[in-house]
């Protein structure tokens, strides 16, 4: 069964241009299914039916028995965690199975798509978390002391907020993709889709300072052409980049739950609050569907409602019956 899972991984990588994270997520799901199938005495994908797929999904939802402490843990998530699959996780499980069978039938590895009748659950859209504009100002204050690393961090944060880049796009950005004189960068996003994103004046200034006084001191003989480099002159790994930026959030006094996409969400939310068209925001973010971008209308709407309640004069009126008695001049 492993051979066809590997074939799908190659397809996702080379033909669909999916990220390494997406490839691993889909292949891990299929490996879990193969492990479950082995316990059901299923030896090949040709033996799998719709009944088996439904049985597997039911197993994922209902098997709540934690493994005994003296038993070695199985690869992947523990069984107790599988029992608590969220709707989003179940959606991904079904999506992976549907994609796999569609691919196998298309490539004639399997004769029948048994997953085509699986229904995807309705997903509730999680509202993105954005920083306030006060928090943004705190975060983007120039760092001291001035070092190559601090110039790099400041430039990365300014660029993320100015252009709404994903962290993967930020760490993959190369020198030939930036056009500071014209005020834009060329970004390779999800699915290897290219888009041109404008860069604001402050971000341009921060990047220029880094390129002049920071990056030359980080470059080594074998350094790649990435714009942003670690202190060892290498490209950032995903975890290293987020750890660096998260420290800057904490140093700025932002101690609430911080997520890697928070600056991207702030970029979109603040544009919308200041009157930007939703279609323009979609293009800037690189969303293939406008429905993905529409979630920001809920965030902006909630914030506008809060401002309205706080400042509108009709919202400040004391409820009837609670008025202070009028005092007449003697």
* Pure H helices in the chain: 2-14, 20-39, 50-62, 79-82, 87-106, 133-139, 148-163, 167-172, 201-209, 215-218, 238-251, 262-273, 278-285, 290-293, 295-311
Task: Tokens for 87, please give them.
Answer: 């709707």
CA 142, 147, 150, 151 torsion: positive or negative? positive
Query: DSSP letters of 50-69?
Result: HHHHHHHHHHHHH--PPPPT
- Give the CA diameter of the chain: 98
Among all residues, which ones are annotated catalytic?
A: 166, 190, 261, 264, 287, 296
Which among 155, 252, 263 is positioned nearest to 211, based on CA atoms?
155
Which among 92, 76, 93, 103 is positioned nearest to 7, based on CA atoms?
103
Beta carbons within 10 angstroms of residue 288's beta carbon: 12
Task: Tokens for 72, please give them.
Answer: 């070695």
Give dist(CA 298, CA 209) in Å, integer. Answer: 37
Give dist(CA 59, CA 37) in Å, integer. Answer: 11
What is the chain's alpha carbon radius of gyration, rounded to the nearest angstrom? 25
């Amino acid at each position: 069964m492993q051979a066809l899972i590997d074939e799908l991984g190659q397809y996702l990588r080379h033909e669909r241009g999916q990220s390494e994270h997406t490839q691993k997520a889909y292949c891990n799901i299929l490996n879990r299914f193969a492990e479950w199938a082995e316990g059901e005495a299923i030896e090949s994908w040709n033996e799998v039916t719709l009944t088996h797929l439904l049985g597997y999904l039911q197993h994922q939802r209902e098997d709540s028995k934690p493994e005994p402490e003296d038993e070695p843990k199985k690869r992947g998530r523990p069984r107790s965690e599988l029992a608590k699959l969220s709707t989003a996780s179940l959606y991904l499980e079904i999506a992976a199975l549907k994609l796999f069978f569609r691919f196998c039938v298309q490539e004639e590895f399997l004769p029948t798509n048994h997953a085509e009748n699986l229904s995807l659950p309705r997903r509730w859209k999680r509202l993105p978390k954005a920083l306030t504009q006060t928090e943004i100002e705190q975060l983007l204050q120039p760092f001291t002391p001035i070092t190559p690393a601090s110039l790099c961090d400041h430039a990365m944060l300014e660029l993320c907020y100015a252009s709404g880049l994903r962290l993967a796009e930020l760490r993959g950005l190369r020198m030939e993709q930036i056009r500071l004189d014209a005020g834009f960068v060329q970004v390779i996003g999800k699915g290897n889709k290219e888009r041109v994103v404008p860069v604001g004046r402050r971000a341009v200034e921060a990047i220029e300072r880094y390129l002049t006084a920071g990056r030359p001191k980080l470059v080594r003989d074998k350094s790649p052409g990435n714009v942003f480099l670690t202190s060892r002159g290498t490209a950032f790994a995903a975890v290293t980049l987020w750890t660096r930026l998260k420290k800057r959030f904490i140093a700025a006094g932002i101690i609430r739950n911080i997520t890697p996409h928070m600056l991207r969400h702030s970029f979109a939310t603040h544009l919308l609050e200041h009157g930007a068209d939703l279609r323009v925001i979609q293009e800037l973010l690189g969303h293939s569907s406008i429905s993905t971008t529409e979630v920001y209308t809920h965030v902006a709407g909630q914030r506008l409602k809060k401002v309205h309640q706080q400042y509108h004069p009709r919202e400040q009126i004391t409820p009837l019956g609670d008025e202070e008695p009028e005092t007449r001049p003697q």
